[in-house]
Structure 1
Amino acid sequence: MDVEIDSNEDSNAQMSVRSVAVNVCAVMLVLYALYFARSLFIPVITAVFAYLTLRPIVRQAGRWGIPAGFSAAGVMVLLGGVLALGTYLVIDPAQEIVQNAPAHVATAKDRLSFVLEKVEYFNRATDDMTTGDAVEVAAEEEPVPVEVKPAAWSTNLTILNGTGNLVSFLVVSGVLLCFLLATGDDLLRNIMRALPTLTARKQLIGVVEHVQEGLGSYLAQVSTINIGLGFAVGISMWGLGMPTPVLWGVMATTLNFIPIVGALFGACVIFLVALVDFEAAYYAFIVAGTYITLTTIEGQFITPAILGRTLEMSPVLVFLSVVVWGWMWGMMGVFLSVPILIAARMACEQYDGLAPLAAILGSRPNQTESSQESTSTRSVGASVTQ
């Protein structure tokens, strides 16, 4: 009898090990597919997240008797106008800063020479300690430096390729977003009809509604907060005498979508520009300190007060998500990292088998239970599954 029990335990252990191995292989294959086809997935996921955020506007317009196609077109026109206005306001000063970057770097090095000299002295002292009393070897003749300049056509081709990638991203994500806003509910109904059981239909509609509720509210509230921060930064930079304060306000709004890293990067940029534009080096610290103070007030007081604890996540998971998705998808991955993390948490809360993963991502038991109860009583689930 003991032999049979031991054999059953061994077989169960082997099955569990195989299951874990299969799940790990599946996750790795999915991640590789997301990395390999990133040029396809990035605009699609961007459009889907924008659709979940803007879907309540189209549905509210439908309750007022406005067709979904007209409301979707209006939303797209509004988004295009905001994007065009922001580009118009910042394109000229941004181009000027980029063109003068080499001269600005040289000026910044000269202004920070008192710091760089100490760093260089420390590096030389470290090298001397490492080498010790080794015998000096005669230095070989230095090779003649050869400068290889790329052909003008190759540089232009690189610029065209980058512009083409941006244009294709905007076209794909914009057109897909317009179609989702106009006919997304019809597509969802067709998917509901294709599912075999009523339980599966309720689970899927619960996931969609829960992700839309959490992700949509998060993006809407964070966008409002970041725009307010942009206004505060722009006014502060104008008061401190910084050139092109509109550029710094738009930069603060955009970078604040990147948690932790965005504020530090913006402070470094502000510091370097102030170091170049003002004679007194200490004034650059005042400007950068003002920027850090505003972002700290926003991050530590305003955002937690508005979002509350329902969307609170571990800073470790947020930072790891930024690093992983930034490594896989570049800058767009950095911007999409937190929405992906929130969507994954909201989806996991709807399935009992994924409750441990939802808890790791920051979900609380009462949140999971209340979300499941609320989705089970939604009238939209009955209308969609008909």
Structure 2
Amino acid sequence: MRDDRLSQFFLAILGVVALGFVLKVAKGVILPLVVAWLLYFIFAPVVRVMAKRKIPTFISTTVVLMVFIGVCFGGALFLNGRVQALIEAFPRYQARFAELLIEYSQSYNLPKYVVSNIDPGPMIGKYLLSLSTFFVGFVSNLILVVIFLVFLLSSAPYFERKIEMAFSKKHSRKVIHLLHTISLQIGRYLALQFMISAITGVLVWLALKSIGVDFSITWGALAFVLNFIPTIGSIVASVPPVVLSFVQFHPQMTPVVITALALFGIQQVMGNLIAPKIMGENLNLSPIVILLSLLFWGWLWGVTGAILSIPIASAIKIVCENVEQLKFIGVLMGSSRYMGKRPDATL
């Protein structure tokens, strides 16, 4: 019996490694499918409500997808315009930053190799140029996401009926309840996170604009996007405007300090005060699980994987809570703040 359990343990490890390899190699297809699957939980209730009002599925699906495509294209065009403006202005800021490096290296007698290692100009320029091709890759991925969504949303009004026909009455209720729980929790999380990120982006834009930092609306948009990445997203979003303010206002340090304090204050208030109160118990995940999920999915699929890490971890937790053999995993993934409470998704 002990040998069988040991064999199952190692087989499980091999299965996880094989799954990770497949997810990494087939990223181009699987990532759009995962994005479409998560979006399905948001859009499917809308399609079902429209179906109950006797609106044909084709029309409801078309309307939902047209709104989604319009929002995505509008956001992509806006971000692409901001990136192009940064690319045009980058040589001027790079030259100014190089002058400041030389000035400080002479003042503190720094070796030349230290100065060359500090200069981030070439790396930033490379990333800006790669971002300039973002729109092409975005369009190709969006096409795949829309194709997957068409098939998923087309079957949304009939999905519960299929579940009832495929399983017994008892098991069908469990499966439907599980899917509703995943849909509700992911939908709430994404909606609330979108609202919090939008408020954060607007506050960053207004604060930097009042200080006089260049490209304030760009840094607000960056804060909005990166705020979807837990823990490190807000930190990464705060670095570029602080560095830019140093280059822009030098030798005056007061605007630089005010910029850093303003960004720190906004991130602290939104991330540690407002977000937990608004989220409430919707995100019942351990901080360790959030960190591991962020590292794993970020390594696997880059920035997109980091953004999707929390919804994926939340869906895995809900499934584990509803499968008797995996319930212990769901408990371990939960936050210690709710240990005395029964999880909402438990059947």
TM, length-normalised to structure 2? 0.83
After superposition, the Cα gap between the structure-2 partners of 1:118 and 1:193, relative to the gap in structure 1 and judged at 3 Å, is farther
Alpha-carbon distance, 1:332 to partner? 1.2
After superposition, the Cα gap between the structure-2 partners of 1:372 and 1:98, relative to the gap in structure 1 and judged at 3 Å, is same
Contact 2:48 2:157 in 1 (8 A): no
Q: Which residue of 2 aligns with 1:206?
A: 177
1:252-309 CA distance string (max 9 Å, x none): 1111001111111111111122233334244233223212211211111111111113
Alpha-carbon distance, 1:46 to partner? 0.3
The answer as to 2:98 corresponding to 1:96 is: no
How much is the aligned-residue C-alpha RMSD, in angstroms? 3.0
Q: List alignment gaps of at least 5 residues for structure 2.
A: 115-129
1:24-103 to structure 2, matched below 5 A, reads 24-103=13-92
**Separation in 2 of the partners of 1:311 and 1:169?**
28
The answer as to 2:248 corresponding to 1:277 is: yes
Alpha-carbon distance, 1:180 to partner? 2.2
After superposition, the Cα gap between the structure-2 partners of 1:347 and 1:368, relative to the gap in structure 1 and judged at 3 Å, is farther
**Separation in 2 of the partners of 1:329 and 1:102?**
31
Q: Which residue of 2 aligns with 1:149?
A: none
Contact 2:245 2:256 in 1 (8 A): yes
Contact 1:206 1:350 in 2 (8 A): no
| SS, match of residue 320 in structure 1 | helix
1:61-114 CA distance string (max 9 Å, x none): 334443333232222222223223333434333212124434423423443667
| SS, match of residue 327 in structure 2 | helix
Amino acid of the structure 2 residue aligned with 1:212: S
1:215-254 CA distance string (max 9 Å, x none): 1111111111111222222222221223343322221111
Q: Which residue of 2 aligns with 1:226?
A: 197
Amino acid of the structure 2 residue aligned with 1:216: G
Contact 1:108 1:272 in 2 (8 A): no
Amino acid of the structure 1 residue aligned with 2:55: I
The answer as to 2:158 corresponding to 1:186 is: yes
1:154-212 CA distance string (max 9 Å, x none): xxxx99987654322110102322332232343554355344x4444333223211111
**Separation in 2 of the partners of 1:107 and 1:67?**
60
For 2:188, which of 203, 206, 217 is the aligned residue?
Answer: 217
After superposition, the Cα gap between the structure-2 partners of 1:358 and 1:241, relative to the gap in structure 1 and judged at 3 Å, is same
1:311-359 CA distance string (max 9 Å, x none): 1433332122111111111121111111111111111111121111111
After superposition, the Cα gap between the structure-2 partners of 1:261 and 1:109, relative to the gap in structure 1 and judged at 3 Å, is farther
Name which structure has the greater RCO, CA cutoff 8 Å, separation 6+: 1
Amino acid of the structure 2 residue aligned with 1:193: M
Q: How many residues align?
A: 329
**Separation in 1 of the partners of 2:161 and 2:310?**
28
Q: Which residue of 2 aligns with 1:359?
A: 331
Amino acid of the structure 1 residue aligned with 2:333: L
Q: List alignment gaps of at least 5 residues for structure 1.
A: 1-11, 126-157, 374-386
The answer as to 2:279 corresponding to 1:307 is: yes
Contact 2:163 2:175 in 1 (8 A): no
Which structure would you say has the larger Rg? 1
**Separation in 2 of the partners of 1:290 and 1:302?**
16
The answer as to 2:243 corresponding to 1:254 is: no
After superposition, the Cα gap between the structure-2 partners of 1:70 and 1:367, relative to the gap in structure 1 and judged at 3 Å, is farther
**Separation in 2 of the partners of 1:160 and 1:295?**
28
The answer as to 2:314 corresponding to 1:342 is: yes
After superposition, the Cα gap between the structure-2 partners of 1:317 and 1:108, relative to the gap in structure 1 and judged at 3 Å, is farther
